[in-house]
Amino acid sequence: MKTTISQAPRYNEETVTIGAWLTNKRSSGKIAFLQLRDGTGFMQGVVVKNDVSEEAFQLAKNITQESSMYITGKIVEDTRSPFGYEMQVSDIELIHEAHDYPITPKEHGTEFLMDHRHLWLRSKRQHAVMKIRNEIIRATYQFFNDKGYVKIDPPILTGSSAEGTTELFHTKYFDEEAYLSQSGQLYMEAAAMAFGKVFSFGPTFRAEKSKTRRHLIEFWMIEPEMAFVEHEESLEIQENYVSFIVQSVLANCKLELQTLDRDISSLEKVQAPFPRITYDEAVALLKEKGFTDIEWGEDFGAPHETAIAESFDKPVFITNYPIGIKAFYMKPHPERDDVVLCADLIAPEGYGEIIGGSQRIDDLQLMEERYKEHGLTGEAYQWYLELRKYGSVPHSGFGLGLERTVAWLAGVNHVRETIPFPRLLNRLYP
Ligand code: 4AD
Ligand code: MG
């Protein structure tokens, strides 16, 4: 019976064959312990000299790291391993012998590992991080599909910018100038007017010259947009969504969280509702905490966000930022013209901003004024203004950065480990 490591527990006490790679091995005299991986999981194979042919035993003793094989044996319970099962090997068929695999079980420097990202992905730790990423994506589709949202795919090549013009990747589009999308939001607003509640999931690009542990040049964003939803209701959707993905990861990635030594007690507390503080309160809190460098009207940096997050044991919304530091499309506060109806969601434990969102301007005249102030006039934006011309309605939306969310849930320090092939300031390889 051909199966996989993740399915092996179903075949307890039965003999199965698994296509696998060798990650490590240890042998002494009449026994060899093979650490196997097959993409679905990790499991030990035990080869006892008297139970296999002489040829198979010699192969087990000499097989090299990352060589591939079909391995056959009986699945038995093994209470000592976190996986809970191992294989009593009866036969090995070598597929391909690997030589001089560069990533040995010893420690390697980060740059070396990043240069070998195509191989580093095979490691147990990277496997666990990617499985958590996959679970967040799966839970996202479940959450929004169950609530009747329609998945809409905004374009990646665009003629307009959503988040300011300084961080755009320029490219030629035949004879026109085009950019790689910074955010699908403007298109998602059009989609919300056509389908009510929508969400997107796709790559976005920021030519940011930031070299921090939170910034990628190419990252993936989940962007829901909802017609007839105002700011406060949008915050409720956000906290329910984030709670749902955290609880899904806790329920479905137990082994991965254990592999990563993630402290799950802090994640267990992540249940809606989340605390909310205004930008004004956040500035006051920072001053209390001894930050003398921050003045009303300035944006927060990573140390500020971390300090604010420390006061809460759940993610915290910072609402109503000054109009001057936020995007052109955000709706002004009904009682104040110096702040807008927006919120950033700051993750606990120093993982930073994971969501940026707002209620959008729905008044045509105000939107036209904002356009002029931001120098965004021209044909490329006509379609966006037209959304305010034909049956404009209150609407809100937000963008969740997938990689920062993975970093938080997996307890990984740097976003470079949260995406299969990171694009960083100085890295386009592999
Ligand atoms: O706050 P941002 O820039 O918001 C938008 O793009 C809105 N148009 C979204 C919307 O309302 N539909 O980005 C949203 C999130 C951030 O909170 C952060 O998690 C992530 O995207 N993000 C990045 N992640 C990794 N590397 C970068 N350079 C990122 N820039 C933003
Ligand atoms: Mg933001």
If you write DSSP's letter for every residue of 171-230 in order, what string do you get?
EEETTEEEEE-S-SHHHHHHHHHHHSEEEEEEEEE------STT--SEEEEEEEEEET--
Q: What are phi and psi of 146, to 5 degrees?
A: -60, -25
Structure confidence at residue 136 as a pLDDT band (50, 70, 90): very high
Tell me the pLDDT of the chain averaged across its residues.
Answer: 97
Judging by DSSP bridges, how do beta strands 157-158 and 68-77 pair with one another?
Answer: unpaired
CA angle 404, 406, 408 (to 5 degrees): 70
Q: In sequence order, what are the residues at sequence separation of 6 or more whose Cβ sits closer than 8 angstroms to the Cβ of residue 351?
A: 214, 309, 404, 407, 408
Please count the structural domains in the chain.
2
How many A from CA of 430 to the centre of ligand 2?
28
pTM: 0.98
Q: Does residue 360 register a pLDDT over 80?
A: yes
Q: Let me know: does 96 contact 67? Beta carbons within 8 Å.
A: yes
Identify whether residues 72 and 128 lie together within a single domain.
Answer: no
Q: Is residue 102 part of a domain?
A: no
Q: Is residue 104 part of a domain?
A: no
CA angle 50, 14, 128 (to 5 degrees): 95
Q: Is the CB of 189 under 6 A from ligand 1?
A: no
Q: Is residue 352 part of a domain?
A: yes
Structure confidence at residue 164 as a pLDDT band (50, 70, 90): confident
Give the whole-angstrom CA distance, residue 224 versus residue 315.
Answer: 19
Identify whether residues 46 and 125 lie together within a single domain.
Answer: no
Q: What are phi and psi of 158, to 5 degrees?
A: -135, 165
Helix (DSSP H) and strand (DSSP E) numbers for the chain:
13, 17
Nearest CA to ligand 1 atom 7: 399
pLDDT in tens, 307-322: 999 999 999 999 999 9
Across the range 283-307, mean pLDDT stands at 96
Structure confidence at residue 122 as a pLDDT band (50, 70, 90): very high
Q: Does residue 165 register a pLDDT over 80?
A: no
Closest CA relative to residue 44, chosen from 107, 90, 98, 89: 89
Nearest CA to ligand 1 atom 23: 401
ipTM value for the complex = 1.00
Q: Is residue 425 part of a domain?
A: no
Angle between helices 302-309 and 279-288 (to 10 degrees): 90
Q: Is the CB of 23 under 6 A from ligand 1?
A: no
Across the range 49-54, mean pLDDT stands at 97
User: Which atom of ligand 1 lies closest to the CA of 224?
Assistant: 12
Q: What are phi and psi of 323, to 5 degrees?
A: -60, -30
- To test the pocket of ligand 1, the residue of 353, 358, 415, 417 to mutate (highest count of ligand atoms within 8 Å of its CB) is 353
Q: What are phi and psi of 124, to 5 degrees?
A: -60, -40
Identify whether residues 171 and 285 lie together within a single domain.
Answer: yes
- To test the pocket of ligand 1, the residue of 219, 222, 223 to mutate (highest count of ligand atoms within 8 Å of its CB) is 219
Query: Which ligand is nearest the CA of 414, by number?
Result: 1
Nearest CA to ligand 1 atom 24: 401
Q: Let me know: does 53 contact 72? Beta carbons within 8 Å.
A: no
The per-residue b/e assignment along 299-318, b for 16 or more CB within 10 angstroms, e otherwise, is ebebebbbbbbeeeebbbbb
CA angle 372, 356, 273 (to 5 degrees): 140
Q: Is the CB of 222 under 6 A from ligand 1?
A: no
Domain of residue 411 covers: 117-417
Identify whether residues 65 and 122 lie together within a single domain.
Answer: no
Question: Can you give the CATH number for the domain in which 222 is found?
Answer: 3.30.930.10
Q: Is the CB of 401 under 6 A from ligand 1?
A: yes
Question: Can you give the CATH number for the domain in which 72 is found?
Answer: 2.40.50.140
Helix (H, G, I), strand (E, B) or coil at 294: coil
Q: Is residue 110 part of a domain?
A: no
pLDDT in tens, 202-218: 999 999 988 899 999 99
Give the whole-angstrom CA distance, residue 73 versus residue 203.
Answer: 43
The last residue of a domain, from among 44, 66, 96: 96
Neighbours of 335 (CB within 10 A): 6
Percent of the chain with pLDDT over 70: 100
Identify whether residues 258 and 312 lie together within a single domain.
Answer: yes
Identify whether residues 221 and 342 lie together within a single domain.
Answer: yes
DSSP tag of 168: P
Identify whether residues 54 and 167 lie together within a single domain.
Answer: no
Q: In sequence order, what are the residues at sequence separation of 6 or more whose Cβ sits closer than 8 angstroms to the Cβ of residue 160?
A: 179, 186, 376, 380, 381, 384
